């Protein structure tokens, strides 16, 4: 009887602290948005530009969240999945190869998006089969290497545009914009294609978030969390941990491929230099900020990450007057680093993560 009361209190306390945590996280996200509006002088073109990037990385971070946050798989080659997705899309829809200017591609947008996701699935499968049986660190090493191999390979093939990349592939997507986008864009004083991409990107975020919620809050998701905790226990209970991990890499790959499509549409021209390992670590930062193992965490984390990264230049200019533009640009990363360090010290589970379930062990 007393046992009952004690645990009831324990889980109630957990719920209370969790809702406080969520309130704080939501508040910080709202503050970040406010800061974005204020520091941009309420210019929609800047706000929408930053929020498109936030959406691209939110999708990418959600894919990492499925792999790491819920299953414990370390993927440090996320940019490789985004490259495969982005290049597959850009090469299938009407496009031109950089410098050579040769045109090609005739697939409709929807088919190319699907193909980009399938490409992500295949990469996950190819990566997963040899590595998923091994300890987590091996997957991390292999993924980081594969991403670099892909980038350097793309750079050497003329059919893939070499270092000049691919251009002129966004038109078929831009043309899909319904009529109301033009009038809205005019009233907000932004290019219609920006507003259209903004709308589509955030719809994708919501759809992926919805799908993730259904998958994670199910017996399937429960098996993933169990694998994250202790794989042998899962095997001892008759669940094929290897197959689950492979599924996660494939589904994560599909989502990352999708984020690669959005990434390519946002850049409007892609070349290997856009797919440096830095992209992977931006996505990881967004995930860790928001809280790995929380469904909304990566979305909020990505918003805060991009607001801080893009809006701290004015702060840096104020703090250190007369500094060169290069130095200002570098200062943004220093500030971001300081933010992450503070977070790791005071809230290692991120804004929305559950400390009991997952925190990066820093002690």
Partner 1 sequence: MKSSDIILSCTQVRKHFGGVIAVDVDDLEVERTSITALIGPNGAGKTTFFDIVTGFLDPDSGEILFEGVDITNKPAHAIAHDGLVRTFQLTRILNKMTVLENMLLAAPNQTGERVGNTFFRRSTIAAQEQTHREQAIALLDRFSLLSLKDEYGGRLSGGQKKLLELARALMSNPTMVLLDEPMAGVNPALGERLLQYVLELRDEGMTFLFVEHDMDIVMRISDRVVVMATGEIIADGTPSDVRSNPAVLAAYLGEHAQDDIAGAEEGSEQ
Backbone φ/ψ region at 290: left (φ over 0), alpha (ψ -120 to 50), beta = alpha
Strands (E), the chain: 95-97, 103-104, 166-167, 269-270
Contacts to partner 1 from residues 45-74, by CB under 8 A: none
Q: Which is nearer to partner 1, 51 or 254 (CB)?
A: 254
Quote the tokens at residue 7. Answer: 């645990």
Q: Does 218 bind partner 1 (CB under 8 A)?
A: yes
Q: How far is it, in rounded angstroms, from Cα 239 to Cα 301?
A: 33
Minimum distance from residue 355 beta carbon to partner 1 (Å)? 10
Give the nearer residue to partner 1 in terms of CB position, either 49 or 293. 293
Name which position in 137, 236, 318, 345 contacts partner 1 (CB under 8 A): 236
Virtual CA dihedral for 241, 244, 250, 251, nearest 10 degrees?
-140
- Per CB under 8 A, which of residues 7..46 are in contact with partner 1? 7-8, 10-11
- Across the beta sheet with 269-270, the strand order is 103-104, 95-97, 166-167, 269-270
Stretch that binds partner 1, among 28-36, 74-82, 229-237, 327-335 (CB under 8 A): 229-237
Q: Which is nearer to partner 1, 216 or 261 (CB)?
A: 216
Quick check: 357 binds partner 1 (CB under 8 A)? yes
Q: Residues binding partner 1: what is the number (CB under 8 A)?
A: 36
CA proximity to 54, closest of 294, 340, 328, 307: 307
By CB under 8 A, residue 118 contacts partner 1:
no
- Nearer Cβ to partner 1, position 4 or 318? 4
Residue choice 95, 151, 228, 245 for contact with partner 1 (CB under 8 A): 228
Which of 178, 179, 219, 322 contacts partner 1 by CB under 8 A? 219
What is the spatial distance between Cα 339 and Cα 308, in angstroms, rounded to a whole number? Answer: 9
> Chain centroid to CA 91: how far?
22
111 membership: H or E segment, kind and range: helix 109-131
**Cβ proximity to partner 1, 174 vs 357, nearer residue:** 357
Interface positions with partner 1 (CB under 8 A): 3-4, 6-8, 10-11, 211, 214-215, 218-223, 225-226, 228-230, 232-241, 247, 251, 356-358
């Amino acid at each position: 009887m007393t046992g009952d009361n004690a645990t009831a209190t324990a889980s109630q306390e957990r719920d209370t602290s969790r809702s406080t945590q969520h309130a704080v996280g939501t508040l910080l996200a709202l503050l970040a948005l406010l800061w974005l509006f204020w520091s941009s002088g309420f210019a929609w073109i800047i706000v929408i530009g930053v929020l498109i990037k936030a959406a691209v990385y939110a999708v990418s971070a959600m894919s990492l969240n499925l792999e790491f946050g819920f299953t414990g798989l370390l993927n440090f080659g996320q940019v490789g999945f985004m490259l495969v997705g982005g290049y597959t899309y850009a090469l299938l829809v009407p496009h031109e190869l950089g410098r050579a200017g040769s045109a090609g591609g005739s697939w409709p947008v929807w088919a190319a998006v699907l193909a980009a996701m399938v490409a992500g699935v295949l990469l996950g499968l190819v990566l997963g089969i040899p590595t998923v049986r091994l300890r987590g660190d091996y997957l991390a090493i292999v993924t980081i290497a594969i991403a670099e191999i892909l980038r350097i390979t793309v750079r050497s093939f003329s059919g893939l545009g070499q270092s000049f990349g691919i251009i002129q592939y966004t038109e078929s997507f831009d043309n899909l914009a319904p009529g109301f986008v033009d009038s809205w864009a005019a009233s907000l004083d932004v290019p219609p294609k920006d507003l259209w991409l903004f709308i589509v990107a955030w719809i994708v975020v919501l759809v992926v978030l919805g799908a993730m919620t259904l998958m994670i809050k199910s017996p399937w998701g429960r098996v993933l969390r169990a694998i994250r905790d202790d794989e042998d226990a899962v095997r001892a209970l008759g669940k094929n941990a290897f197959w689950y991990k492979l599924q996660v890499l494939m589904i994560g790959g599909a989502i990352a491929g999708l984020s690669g499509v959005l990434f390519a549409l946002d850049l409007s021209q892609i070349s290997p230099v856009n797919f440096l390992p830095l992209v992977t670590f931006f996505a990881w930062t967004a995930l860790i900020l928001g809280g790995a193992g929380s469904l909304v965490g990566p979305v909020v984390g990505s918003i805060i990450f991009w607001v801080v990264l893009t809006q701290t230049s004015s702060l840096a200019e104020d703090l250190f007057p007369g500094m060169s533009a290069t130095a200002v640009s570098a200062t943004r990363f220093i500030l971001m680093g300081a933010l992450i360090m503070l977070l790791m010290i005071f809230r290692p589970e991120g804004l929305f993560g559950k400390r009991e379930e997952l925190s990066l062990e820093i002690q």
